[in-house]
Each structure stands twice: as structure tokens, then as C-alpha cells.
Amino acid sequence: QQLESFATATATTIKDNDQSRLDLLNERGVLTDQVQPQIAAINDGTNPSEVVTAILGEAGSEKLAYNIIAFNTSEAFIGKRLEAKHYYAMALDFAGAESTIDQLQGIYYYLCYLEYREGNLYESAMYGEYLARNYPNTPAAEACTGICLSVFQTLYANSLPDDRAFERDRIISIGQFAIQTWPNGKVANDARRKLISYMLEDKRYQDAKQLAADMPEGSELRVECEMRLGRSMWFRYRVLDYQLRKKITAGGVNAETDTEREQLDQMRTEAGQFLTSAFKYLPEDSEIDRYTVEGSLAISQYFVDVGNMPEAKTSLEHPRYGMVTLVKAGHPHASTAKVIEDTYSMALSANIGSLATATAEQTTAIIASSREIMTALNEAVSGQEGGQRRLVSRYYTLARQLERQLKEAETTEQKQALASGFETFLNEVGNTANDFSTQHWVGETFKGLGSGFEGADGSVSAAAKKYYEKSIQQFESILQKGTADPKWVNEQDRLSKGYLLQVNSRIAELKSKLGSFQDALTSFSQILKVNEMRLDIQVAAANVYMLWGSQLQATDKTNASKQFVAAIGGGFPKADEAAGNIVWGWKKIAKLTQGNAKFREEFFEARYNLALARYRYAKLRTSEKPKYLGYAEQEIKNTQLIVKDLGNWKPRFEALLKQVQKDLKKPQVGFGD
């Protein structure tokens, strides 16, 4: 009776509504071929009750009647669903020995679905998971598992961020059950897509890779998952790569950092493989959404990072998803200032990087193209708030990328070819561009080229000297023009002065590399007279004293000792000598940065170099050497007393401590922990 009532109401509603409702039922596989003529007859004026009789007579299906109701959401059926739920629950209460397993399974399935439709999510999951786990071979088990996944996904989305552990665990557990039970089913693939999100969130990349690998190659779902996996691994790689570079800067290269680099290189390779596969099988008619844009940005960055400039250019200029294409078209997901700047910066890197293998004809075309990109980048950034600062920062980052690319060249021939290509472009741009940002970038890049040709011990080769001199020449030209016309540097007087001080600092730094230590220190002291609190300049000046002393220690011990003393205590006394020195030295730098988390790295650098300067001074002494070595030892131990956790600096401190202990003829135990 209930079924006939449901079906009658359904038939009436179908008659009162348009054909689209019937089409929807057809799409969902609710109606059988035998029933179609009877349903269609309603529109011809046939009495609904006659049609209902025909439906029940020919189909004879409880599931058919239920499904017709379940997929119709009009108000007429809400009460009927409640009635159905009531009778199904009653049927469970009356179940006895004569009840069949099939009947009970059917009831659990319908209750799972009805509770889900009513929004009773926990009740729905209870019925569904019970059926799925206890009767996995029943036809309804897979469908119930899919409902359970949807239930907990909804609950997860509606929970507070710090109160989602239960829902998250249920999604993972049910998803894994679906994959193990029906590995090739639709629910299993949906589970893989859901689980990948949590695997990526937990940085469980091996598990995520396995989930993606179990999907059919080239399938739309696998493309989506590989895109997400590649993006996540690439962004994670960039974070870890930055941290490793900082670690190496602080503590140097060792077996641990070598292992980390190998692992990161593997992560980078795998990220590139997933992104490459995703774009290889990206459907031609797929929407270029935010995630595709992020993936396109990531794969372009990957190709630039590994030095594959031809592929980088191909990716950037792809007619459908290339970042340059999307930016020029004003695509909504490629229109933010950061995305535009990232895109043009990458395009410029790819262009300049390709100069290493270009013919003369290609070089001309690449330079012309690069200048167009620079113009586009300048226009994109200059209109933004703080545009010039951002532009200078962008070009500075680009210069450091080119420097890194040069240092990572595998052979001398590759390094020379890259440098030659860079130099050709820089000479062209330096002679023709007239804006401060570009001129400054040329100077920074020449400096980077010089750094790329330095020896592992910091020695300056002939090639390094050549590029450092070009950089000094470029910066001196900027300084001359900027001093005569400050607004050429920046419209704001304060920023203009700041940039010119930075340029002066670069000149001093480069002069120290070329051995003009006194000139460098004089330049630094002039900057510090204006602003003594420029910590970066104080550190740079102290380093000049260290470098000067190191170069003299083999030939002029007396003068070398003076430089190490100045590195410790500073130099260039103020007019009132009681007020101390303009250049602080490591001791004062360490004192003023102690306890300030913002300057943690500068504190460790100062404490380490303070001990190193004392050690080198002690080595130059002909008398009382043990006493001065003891001072160096005590500086290192005091550092650990001040800050127990030395972080990435501990290996360097300990290596120096062991060397001091060796010279003191003590056991080389380091910190002894």
C-alpha cells in the first residue's frame, strides 16, 4: 500500500512537471525500458492510477518505486520519505528468524540513503558502514560506502579546523576500505581522490603517489590527482630547498646536507614527472581553473630550476595553459600582481638562460624578446603600490637565480657558455636601458657572475675579477647619476637615499673582494655615519676586517693581528672616542642582537666570527698563545651558555671548538654532548 501510494504521488508529480524531471530520472538509471511507455503516457492524458498499476504490474520492483521517490525532492514527497523511514525502522524491529539476509541488507541500504537525504548524517553513516563492512559482497555495500564518504566529507567541511580529527580519520578509514574491497570501482577512485588531499596534507607523498598510480593512466581523475600531487611536491620542495640553503650558509656542506640535497633533488624530479604527466593528458576541453594555473606556474618554475630552458619556454607559451598566454589574455586566475610578476620573471629567466646555446641570429631574437618581457614586467609592477621597490626586489631575486644557475653548471665549458650569454645580454641592456631598476639589476647580475667564478675557498679568479670590475663600474655609474638626480632613483626622497646607500654598500663589498680593503671600509664607515644601526653594513664591515686579516696572516703577521682585533672590537673611532667606534665589530654586534629572535642568524654569525677572530689572532701570537686560544675556546662555550640550542650553527661551532682543543693539546670532544 505504501509503495502504491508513493508511486501514485510520483506519477502525479511527473505529470505536473516538465520533461526534465523525467530526463533526470532516466540519467540516474531509475526507470527501466519497460516502464518508459507507461510514464510517457501520462503526458497523453492517461489516468495516473492506470499508469501506476502498469508500472507496478510490469516492473514489479520495490526498488523502482523507492528510487522514483528518492530522486524527487518536491515537498509532496518529504512526508513520504519520513513514512518510508518509519516503516523500514519498524521492519528492523520485527525482523526475526524468518527474515532473509537480503531483506535486512535492503533495509539498511534504504535507511542509509533516507537518513542521508534527511540530513541525519551520523545515522546514515551508522547504517551504511555497518552494511558495507559486514556484507561487502552485497550490491548495496559499495553504494553505502560512497554515501559514508560523502557524509564524513560534509561533516569535515562543517567542523572547526581544530576539531576535525574524528571526521578525518573516518574518511581515511572508509576510503581505504573502499580501495581494498572494490579496487576498480567508482567509489574506490572517488576515495583515492579524497585520500590524496589528506596524504598531501600530512606530507605522505609515497602514499599519495601509490593512490595516483592505481588510477588508469591518462584518466581525467588521475590527471587531477597528478596535478595536485605535482603542485604540492613542488611547493614543498621550494620551501625545503630554501631552508637547506640557509642551513648550508650557516653550517657549511657536510654528509647530512649532502643527503638532504639528494632527497630534495629526488623530490624535485618526481614533482616534475607528475606535472609533466598531468599536462600531457590534460583534456583538450578541460576548464583552465585556479588549480590548472597553479600547476602551469609550477611546471614552468620546475623547468627553469633544472635549467631546461627550451621546455620552460614551451610551457610558458603553450596556447591553452601557458602562463604568458594566460597573463596576456587577462585570465581571471592569472591576473593577480604576484602571478603576473612571477610569470614575466620566469619568462625572462628562461630567455636569458637559453642564450648559452643560442646562435648569433637566435641571440638577437632572444635579446629583443627579453627586452619586451622586461618592458611588460616593468609596466605590470610600476602601477602597483610600492611598485619600484617590488621591481628592484624582483630583479635582485632574478640576479641571484642566474648566479645560482651559474654555480650549478656541471662543467667549466657550461659555466663559460652561460656567462658569455648573460654578459652579451647585460651589455646590451646596460647600454640602452635608462631606468634605475634595470640598471641596478645589471650591476647585481654582473656581481652574481663574478661570484659564480669564485673558488670554493673564496679566491677570486681572473673571470671573477673581470665581472666584479664590471659590476663596480655599473654601480658607480648609478651612484653618479642618482646623486645628480635623486628622483631618477625614486620619486620619494627617503627611498632614493636608501637605494643609493645600498649601491654604495655594493661598491664597498666588491672592492673588498678585489683586495681594496681600506677603500671598502672607508665606504662602509661613511654609510654608518649616516645610520649606525644598519646591521647589514656593520656585518659587512666586520667581514672585511676578517678577510683582510686572513689575506695578511701569511705575509704580515703584525698587520693581520690588527685586522683581527678590529674585527672583534671595531674601528673608525667617533669624534668623542668615549662614544666608541662607528664600525662596531663582532663583539658589539653579538651583544646588541642577543635575545632578539628577529636577528637570531646575525647573533650566531657574530658569536662564531668573534671566536674565529680570537682563534686566528691566537695563532699569530709568538707568546702567550695558549692564553689567547683559551679565550677563543671560552667564547664558543659561552655561546652555548647564552643559547643552549645552536640550531644549524652547531656543526660550525663544534668544528672550531675541536680545532681549538687540538691546538691546546686537549681531548677533541667538542661540546661533549
- Nearest residue to 435 (alpha-carbon basis) of 484, 482, 384, 403: 482
Do the domains spanning 2-214 and 515-673 agree at the CATH topology level?
Answer: yes
Residue 175, CA atoms < 13 Å, CB-side half-sphere: 24
Angle made by CA atoms 406, 407, 412, in degrees to the nearest 5: 75
Q: Which pLDDT tens digit goes with each residue over 570-595?
A: 999 998 878 889 999 999 999 999 99
- In the chain, where are the structural domains located? 2-214, 386-514, 515-673
pLDDT given at position 254: 82
Cell of 533: 644601526
User: pTM of the predicted model, to two decimals?
Assistant: 0.65
| d(C-alpha 106, C-alpha 66), whole Å | 11
Angle made by CA atoms 186, 206, 292, in degrees to the nearest 5: 65
CATH of domain 515-673: 1.25.40
pLDDT given at position 40: 54
Contact 297, 339 (CB under 8 A): yes
Bridge partner list, 583? 571
| d(C-alpha 364, C-alpha 528), whole Å | 44
Spell out, as residue ranges, where the chain has pLDDT lower than 70.
1-83, 86-87, 94-99, 383, 388, 673
Please name the residues in contact with 205: beta carbons below 8 A apart, sequence gap of 6 or more.
199, 229, 232, 233, 267, 270
- For cell 683559551, the residue is 630
| d(C-alpha 237, C-alpha 246), whole Å | 14
| d(C-alpha 5, C-alpha 667), whole Å | 94
- Please state, in angstroms and as integers, the Cα–Cα distance from residue 109 to each residue in 101, 112, 128, following that order: 12, 5, 6
Quickly name the fold that domain 2-214 has: 1.25.40
Long-range contacts of 87-90 (CB under 8 A, 24+ apart): 87/2, 88/114
Bridge partner list, 581? 573
SS3 content of the chain, % helix, strand, coil (to 5): 80, 0, 20
Please name the residues in contact with 28: beta carbons below 8 A apart, sequence gap of 6 or more.
67, 71
